[in-house]
Amino acid sequence: MFEFDHPSDWSVIPAPTSGEATWSLTVQDAHGRIMANLAAGFPAANDSVVVGPIKPVPLEYVKIPEGQLATTYESTVIAFHYETRFNPVIDEVGAEMSINTFKTDFPISSSLPGFHIDQTIGAAFTRWIEASEELPDIDQNLKDAGGTSLYEAYQRTAEYQAVKQMMISLRRLE
């Protein structure tokens, strides 16, 4: 259904499905660290609000080239998005990289991470980053302090750029 480019020393493996997803893949680096998850086949979410103890801080927004992933709804675009946020599933503040659907005139939406395959089926390509995760090339003081500065520093790493490029390359097979 989809394909994407990734570094040659990374692996794509089937992952156990959770919730209502019908299939799921995990992308791991050469050391077995999870770089991203791609899941599809769950009900499409639309304009859902995630409430938490912090307001999300947007760090990057890049539109996916038109036609690479078809938008299902008028006046929407699909984009790569990186932000700090509260994850209610694990009750933790961290950062998330995702492919998401946004309203054309509203660069940061309240939608849950993901995009629509059709009017009822959704998919998600995400990377959750915990404050405790061992991130390469990050100053120890930033790791200890956590917060937005940590996730901004992660943006400047080769690993972040590789994950971002992988996610942005996502395209639907014809």
62-73 pLDDT, tens digit each = 999 988 998 877
Q: Are 95 and 124 in contact (CB under 8 A)?
A: no
- Tell me the pLDDT of the chain averaged across its residues: 86
- The tens digit of pLDDT for each residue in 143-163 reads 888 889 999 999 999 999 999
Where is pLDDT greater, at 65 or 108? 65
pTM reported for the whole predicted model: 0.90
**What count of other Cβ atoms lies within 10 Å of the Cβ of residue 51?**
6
20 half-sphere exposure, CB direction, 13 A CA radius: 9
